[in-house]
Amino acid sequence: MKRILPLMLTLLTMLLTALIGTAQESAATNYMGLTATGASVTGAPIGAEGALRQETQMYKVNFSVADGLVNMQATYPKDNWDTQFNSGDELPAGTEVTFFVFLEGGYEMDHWVVNGNEVAPGEDFPQRLQWTLTEDLTVQAVVKMGAAKYKITLEKGQGGSIEGKYVDEEGYNITFDGEKDIQEGIELSVRATPDPNRMVDKWYYNGNEVTPTGDDPNLYVFKVTEEATVYVTFKEGQSGYVVTYSAGEHGSIEKAEVYLPSGIEPFESGEAISAGLNVKFTAQPDKGYEVDQWYVNDQPAESYYAGKPEFETMVEGKMDIRVTFKKGAPIKYPVSWTLEGGRFFVAKYKAEGSDEFTIVGNGESVDEGTELILTVKPGDNNVVKEWYINGALREDLAGVTETTIIVEGETTIKVICAPDTPTPVTHKVTYSVSHKDQATLTVTDAKTNEPIASGADVVEGTEITCQVTIPEGSMWQLEKWTIGGADYTEGAKKSTITLTVDKDLEIQAVLLDHTSIETPAGTRYVVSLQDGELMIQGLTTPTPIYLYSTTGELMLSRLMETSVLSLRDLPQGVYFLVVEGHAYKVIR
Is 176 in the same domain as 101?
Answer: no
What confidence tier does 437 reach under pLDDT thresholds 50, 70, 90? confident
Of 1-10, 84-93, 129-138, the range with the lowest mean pLDDT is 1-10
Last residue of a domain, which of 122, 145, 168? 145
Select from 145, 164, 193 the last residue of a domain.
145
Residue 449 pLDDT: 94
pLDDT reported for residue 518? 58
From 348-362, 460-474, 489-503, 557-571, the region with the lowest mean pLDDT: 557-571
| Percent of the chain residues past pLDDT 70, beyond the cut | 88
Residues 346 and 409 in one domain: yes
Q: pLDDT confidence of 515, banded at 50, 70, 90?
A: low
Q: Check whether the bond before 427 is cis (ω within 30° of 0).
A: no
85, part of any domain: yes
Same domain for 108 and 31? no
Torsion angles phi and psi, residue 403, rounded to 5: -150, 170
Is 49 contained in some domain?
A: no
Q: How confident is the model at residue 521 (pLDDT cuts 50, 70, 90)?
A: low
- Those residues with Cβ within 8 angstroms of residue 23's Cβ, 6 or more apart along the chain or in another chain: none
Give the 3-state secondary structure of 95-117.
CEEEEEEECCCCEEEEEEEECCE
Asked if 454 contacts 429 with a C-beta cutoff of 8 angstroms, the reply is yes
Residue 414 domain-assigned?
yes
User: What's the rounded Cα separation, in Å, for the pair 464 and 445?
Assistant: 5
Q: Is the separation of the CB atoms in 10 and 17 below 8 Å?
A: no
Kindly list the strands in the beta sheet with 160-167, ordered across the sheet, starting from the edge strand earlier in the chain: 173-176, 160-167, 187-194, 219-223
Shared domain for 505 and 566, answered yes or no, is no
Cβ neighbours of residue 422 closer than 8 Å, sequence gap 6 or more = none
Query: Strands 117-119 and 310-314, how do they pair?
Result: unpaired
91 & 139 share domain: yes
pLDDT of amino acid 576: 86
CB 250 within 8 A of CB 328: no
| Domain identity same for 380 and 406 | yes
Co-location of 268 and 285 in the same domain:
yes
Confidence check: pLDDT of 57 > 70: yes
pLDDT at 253: 97
**Mean pLDDT for the chain?**
85
| CATH number for the domain that contains residue 536 | 2.60.40
Span 431-451, mean pLDDT? 92
Q: Quote the number of domains for the chain.
A: 7
Question: Which residues make beta-bridge pairs with 319?
Answer: 243
Residue 136 lies in a domain: yes
The predicted model gives 37-45 an average pLDDT of 34
Give the range with max mean pLDDT: 195-199, 259-263, 513-517: 259-263
d(CA 311, CA 56): 71
Q: Choose the weakest-confidence range: 350-354, 440-444, 509-513.
A: 509-513
- Asked if the structure places residue 384 within a domain, the reply is yes
Q: What share of the chain is helix, strand, coil (3-state, %, to 5)?
A: 5, 55, 40
24: pLDDT strictly greater than 50: no
- At 381, the pLDDT band (50, 70, 90 cuts) reads confident
Nearest Cα to Cα of residue 234 among 330, 301, 158? 158
* Least-confidence region, from 9-23, 403-417, 460-474, 523-537: 9-23
Segment holding 13, helix H or strand E: helix 4-31
b/e map 368-402, b = 16+ CB within 10 Å: bebebebebbbeeebbbbbbbbeeeeeeebeeeee
CB 212 within 8 A of CB 219: yes
* Cα gap 430→456, rounded to integer Å: 7
pLDDT tens sequence across 187-244: 999 988 888 778 899 999 999 999 988 767 888 999 999 999 999 999 988 777 889 9
Phi/psi at 171 (5° precision)? 90, 10
Note down the domain range covering 390.
Answer: 332-419
Mean pLDDT along residues 102-124: 88
Residue 123 lies in a domain: yes
My answer on whether 508 and 522 are in the same domain is: no
Q: What percent of the chain has pLDDT over 90?
A: 54
Task: Answer yes or no: is pLDDT of 386 > 90.
Answer: yes
| CA 76/CA 56 separation, integer angstroms | 17
Q: How far apart are CA 367 and CA 352, in angstroms?
A: 11
Residues forming beta bridges with residue 137, ordered by sequence position: 61
Residue 169 banded pLDDT, cuts 50, 70, 90: confident
The pTM assigned to this predicted structure is 0.32
pLDDT band at 81 (very low <50, low <70, confident <90, very high): very high
Examine the pLDDT at 533 and tell me if it is beyond 70.
Answer: yes
Q: Write out pLDDT tens, residues 278-318.
A: 999 999 999 889 999 999 999 999 999 999 999 999 887 78
- Which range among 301-310, 331-340, 413-422, 569-578 shows the weakest confidence by mean pLDDT? 569-578
d(CA 527, CA 534): 7
Residue pair 192/160 in contact by the 8 Å Cβ criterion: yes
User: Contact, 235 vs 212, CB < 8 A?
Assistant: no
Domain end, chosen from 304, 327, 350, is at 327
* pLDDT score of 431 more than 60: yes
Asked if residue 53 is part of any domain, the answer here is: no
Mean pLDDT of all residues in 427-435: 93
Q: What is the rounded average pLDDT of the residues 445-462?
A: 95
| Residues contacting 449, CB < 8 A, separation 6+ | none
For residues 231 and 268, membership in a common domain is answered with no
Tally of CA atoms within 13 A in the half-sphere of 577 that contains its CB: 28
My answer on whether 475 and 503 are in the same domain is yes
- Would the pLDDT of 457 be above 50? yes
- Co-location of 336 and 314 in the same domain: no
Per-residue pLDDT at 412 exceeds 90? yes
Looking at the predicted structure, is the pLDDT value of residue 66 above 90?
A: no
**Tell me, what's the pLDDT at 28?**
34
pLDDT at 225: 93
Q: Check whether residue 217 and residue 254 sit in a common domain.
A: no
Write the DSSP symbol of residue 88.
Answer: T
Question: In b/e form, how buried is each residue of 69-101, taking b as 16+ CB within 10 angstroms?
Answer: ebebebbbbeeeebeebeeebebeeebebbbbb
On the question of pLDDT at 32 being above 60, the answer is no
Comparing 307 with 475, which gets the higher pLDDT?
307
Beta bridge partners of 412: 336
Assess if residue 19 is contained within a domain.
Answer: yes
- Neighbouring residues of 201: CB distance < 8 A, sequence distance ≥ 6: 157, 232, 233, 234, 235
